Structure 1
């Protein structure tokens, strides 16, 4: 999982002076910065192996910020976006935030305000990465289960109010003692300490749903 030192700030603005000033100011603060003069250039040149956040001018020609935001979603570019604009209104900012933007800043803005937004974006990104890593590990653990253990686990998760050995055994046509054995193995292989934890983690990860 990446840490903040490996994250990049992607600045997308058609104004040469703004790109240059933001790149210089953020670079002095220790951020890795890449700049793009248009939304199209970003889509063409962005390396999906690089993570970070996007500082995006709302009012660019050809493809504006909101349109790029939609293209990024369609192409699974999951980077937090900070919109900046010199002439944005409330409807635009509301729509951008609803679509997942971190913030919508009107020019001129204080450098400290932008830095706070970047740190918020990085924090959000790292949390998402950590969750995704946890879910991948959960799936890997599930794949290690035997077919019968998977059946037991699935029944428990989909029927959280009927997790007694008798209920599970009746459904799977096996003895309660056999259920106890499989349930213990499921918890061990999945790295869980209780049935409640198993249900909670699988539901959050969308396993079986």
Structure 2
């Protein structure tokens, strides 16, 4: 009898997006690309979650019902989290780009998202 070696652990991705359809699309897309996806509909739910520190990436919507994506990134940074992060928005502006970078985001992408742009930003 042979025992298969354990499967390689998938990188974890955190998604916080209040739109159910967008959140589900991101879940499927990231899962298909090899990530273990943990998704949340609010900042409060994400920040209350366990095992956030091992996540490799964060994708956060800017406008959430209880905070902004920038608030989420700052809170994770305060915990010592240092993964790649992408802010997504339907309302792009230069001031939002500056706020996102000051909060620790690596990239800001406009909805609707393009797969290639998302995965380029996550590398």
Is the TM value for this pair above 0.5?
A: yes
Q: TM-score, normalised by structure 1?
A: 0.51
Q: Distance in 2 between matches of 1:78 and 1:21?
A: 25
Q: Partner residue of 2:4?
A: none
Determine the structure 1 residue equivalent to 2:92.
Answer: 88
The secondary structure found in structure 1 opposite 2:48 is helix
- Candidates 6, 12, 16, aligned match of 1:12: 16
Equivalent residue, structure 2, for 1:111: 115
TM norm structure 2: 0.83
Structure 2 CA distance for aligned equivalents of residues 100 and 49 of structure 1:
15
> For the structure 1 residues 80 and 29, does the alpha-carbon distance in structure 2 shift closer, same or farther, using more than 3 Å as the test?
closer
What is the match of residue 56 of structure 1? 60
CA distance in 1, matches of 2:50, 2:31: 19
Gaps of 5+ in 2: 1-7
Partner of 2:70: 66
Contact 1:80 1:100 in 2 (8 A): no
Higher strand share: 2
RMSD of aligned Cα (Å): 1.8
Distance 2:32 2:11 in 1: 15
Tell me the distance in 1 between the aligned counterparts of 2:82 and 2:47.
13
Q: Deviations over 1:45-94 (max 9, x none)?
A: 13145231100001112211111222222222333210001113210111
Which of 38, 41, 53 lines up with 1:37 in the alignment? Answer: 41
Q: 1:5 to 1:102 in 2, by over 3 A?
A: farther
